[in-house]
Amino acid sequence: MLSVLIWFPCFAAVIIALLPKSLDLKRVRLSALWLSGITLLWTIGLVIQFDLSNPLLQYQESLPWLSDLGLDYQLGIDGLSLPLLILNSLLTWLAIYSSRIDTKRPNLFYALILLISGGVAGAFLAQNLLLFFLFYEVELIPFYLLISIWGGAQQGSAATKFLLYTATSGGLILAGFLGLIWFSEASSFAYDLLLGQTLPLNIQYVLLVLLLLGFGIKTPLVPLHTWLPDTYVAASTPVAMLLGGVLAKLGTYGIFRFCMPLFPEAWSNLSPLLATWAVVSVLYGALAAIAQKDIKRMVAYSSVGHMGYILLAAAAHTQLSIVGAISQMFAHGLILALLFHLVGLIEAKVGTRDLDVLNGLMNPVRGLPLVSALLVLGGMASAGIPGLVGFIAEFLVFQGSYAAFPVQTLLSVVGTGLTAVYFVILLNRTCFGRLDNSLAYFPKVHWDERVPALILTLLIFILGIHPTWLVRWSEPTTTYLVAEAHLSTPAPQSIMANAEFH
């Protein structure tokens, strides 16, 4: 059942790639939409049948592959990976929907997106470290091609930077995994086998740092983030939606799946440092966003800041904070995809992303009123305004982390305030004010262009008003994860203060 999520998109990618070149662009796009829609429906089916009371892996699949190397085809799903799988399937469909009708070389474009979807699903499902690494690395070349072929200005250098950084990330993760096998003398890369291994603390530190750096690049965390603004800005709208909405989550997923449970003692000891690192990311991301003049770059930097919340929650590793972190991953995926989609629409219609040029888009007749209204809503969701999904996620993160790291949590709350600052700057300059006569001849936004934004907005609202539908998927798993972590290592004093959540 789980294999379908990996191999059907890959199969679909092959079909799309082999479609006749003479086929109408719309038909190619429609085919890609249908095929990604089937994956989305399959994911929804999986969600419906998912046993909420079971904290362990479900729908496990296991096939021997290269057992001599310790590489077997092992898949499974739990409350940590399920929300991210949904996000992956949904954003893939929306990214294809939001692609331009006149996309050049559409067969290759959609095939690469579908390939990425299958690869990301594989990474979220893999229960073998080497298998995870393979799926993790599969994304690299498709994304490189998507950025370099269909990207905007300076796409060449941005794609190369992305390639170098993420290849380094993969190298560090592989080194960490190999080190784990060597030092634990395990016979396989199987996740459940390695979970029970206990390594000397020094070894744990080294391996943990390797993995943290690897996943920190992908997430990204300051100062490993420098590839992100250029890449996000150079990428086309659908690719930016996938980069921010899905790819970045591979980094945070890796932290929760591997760093935290495989090295529990080292994690507990390093957690104050990690929390501080999170705060640096939050504040740096927010301050850098404030300084931007390009709205896409501003949104990109906002992503850096918001990823910091997830690291803070991981550092605190309380049940509540982890539920908050998973919610934040999901919420951030929705919000960032919405913002990138809207920024892409603005750029397509107005022809610029420059804050000093944009003005008055809220104009009801000649502006982009609905796009502006949704941008306001996206900004509010990102800034954690109550009633929207961003608030729930951030509130859970802060509530769960405060007892463990009060100072870092409060500083992160300041980061939320700064989020409101740069979004007010963005909205004030972009949406409000007087529409400039010389510029105000924008083409109209068609209804089908609004559909992705409306779907994302609806989800942001629904999950913000009824957060149980978001957190209940991950609650049993997080309870189990935290219990396991505390069984395997004595919790630091600061974490014990949060015992009521355990």
Partner 1 sequence: MNAVTPTPTKLPPSQHEFAEIIHRLEAGGAMLPDTPENLKQIIGIYKAYAVPMDFYWRNLLYIAERVFLNPLPAFKYFLPQDYLDRHNHYAGEDADLRIWRGEATAHPELLEFMEKGEVKRKLPKLLHHLWHDRINMEFAEACMRAMFWHRNMGGQFDPYLDTEEYVANADRAIKAYFKGNPVMLGLYKLFPDMFIEQVRQLSYYSNLGLFWEVMAPVFFEMSDLYDEGKITTVPEAMSFLVNGIFAIAGRPIYHHVYIRGECYEIIPKSKGFMWLYEAALPYVEAVFYRTSPFRGTKSYNAQAKQVPENQDDFHYGILYADVFPVGSAGIPPTLLMQDMLHFLPPYLVEYYQQYCRGGDDTLIQLGVTFQRSMYCVTSAVIQALRQALLYPLDDPNPEHLQANRAFFEAQLNRLTRPEARLRDIQSQDYR
Closer CB to partner 1, residue 363 or residue 416? 363
Shortest reach from residue 433's CB to partner 1, in Å: 9
Shortest reach from residue 429's CB to partner 1, in Å: 15
Closer CB to partner 1, residue 149 or residue 373? 373
Shortest reach from residue 237's CB to partner 1, in Å: 22
Query: Which residues, in sequence order, are CB contacts of 453 under 8 Å at separation 6+?
Result: 338, 341, 342, 345, 371, 374
Closer CB to partner 1, residue 79 or residue 367? 367
Shortest reach from residue 363's CB to partner 1, in Å: 6
Partnered with residue 451 across adjacent β-strands are: none
CA angle in degrees (0–180, nearest 5) for 251-458-115: 40
Q: Which helix (H) or strand (E) holds 59?
A: strand 58-66
Shortest reach from residue 438's CB to partner 1, in Å: 9
Query: Which residues, in sequence order, are CB contacts of 242 under 8 Å at separation 6+?
Result: 91, 92, 95, 113, 116, 143
Shortest reach from residue 354's CB to partner 1, in Å: 19
Shortest reach from residue 366's CB to partner 1, in Å: 5
Produce one character per residue of 81-100: b if its CB has 16 or more CB atoms within 10 Å, e if not: bbbbbbbbbbbbbbbbbbbb
Shortest reach from residue 436's CB to partner 1, in Å: 8
Shortest reach from residue 375's CB to partner 1, in Å: 18
Q: Which helix (H) or strand (E) holds 325?
A: helix 319-350
Closer CB to partner 1, residue 420 or residue 440? 440
Contact assessment for residue 85 and residue 46, using Cβ atoms and an 8 Å cutoff: yes
Closer CB to partner 1, residue 373 or residue 440? 440
**By C-alpha distance, which of 94, 154, 170, 84 is closest to 457?**
94
**By C-alpha distance, which of 384, 388, 267, 397 is closest to 320?**
397
Q: How far apart are CA 398 and CA 402, in angstroms?
A: 6
Shortest reach from residue 349's CB to partner 1, in Å: 11
In Å, how far are 5, 190, 273 from 63, measured between CA atoms? 16, 12, 40
Closer CB to partner 1, residue 63 or residue 365? 365
Query: Which residues, in sequence order, are CB contacts of 344 under 8 Å at separation 6+?
Result: 98, 236, 237, 240
Judged by the rule CB under 8 A, the positions of this chain that interact with partner 1 are 360, 363-366, 434-435, 437, 440-441, 443-444
**Is beta strand 58-66 parallel, antiparallel or unpaired with respect to 71-77?**
antiparallel
Closer CB to partner 1, residue 64 or residue 364? 364
In Å, how far are 246, 310, 384, 497 from 332, measured between CA atoms? 10, 10, 11, 28
Helix-helix angle 389-402:295-316, to 10 degrees: 40
Q: How far apart are CA 57 and CA 477, in angstroms?
A: 9
Shortest reach from residue 140's CB to partner 1, in Å: 42
Closer CB to partner 1, residue 365 or residue 487? 365
Closer CB to partner 1, residue 50 or residue 432? 432
Q: How far apart are CA 440 and CA 5, in angstroms?
A: 45
Token pair in block for residue 385: 């305004």
CA angle in degrees (0–180, nearest 5) for 126-128-134: 70
List, as one string, the DSSP characters of 375-395.
Answer: HHHHHHHHTT-TTSHHHHHHH
Contact assessment for residue 463 and residue 387, using Cβ atoms and an 8 Å cutoff: no
Closer CB to partner 1, residue 18 or residue 365? 365
Shortest reach from residue 428's CB to partner 1, in Å: 13
Closer CB to partner 1, residue 280 or residue 435? 435
- Type of residue at 413: V
Contact assessment for residue 237 and residue 344, using Cβ atoms and an 8 Å cutoff: yes
Shortest reach from residue 364's CB to partner 1, in Å: 4
Closer CB to partner 1, residue 387 or residue 443? 443
Closer CB to partner 1, residue 21 or residue 434? 434
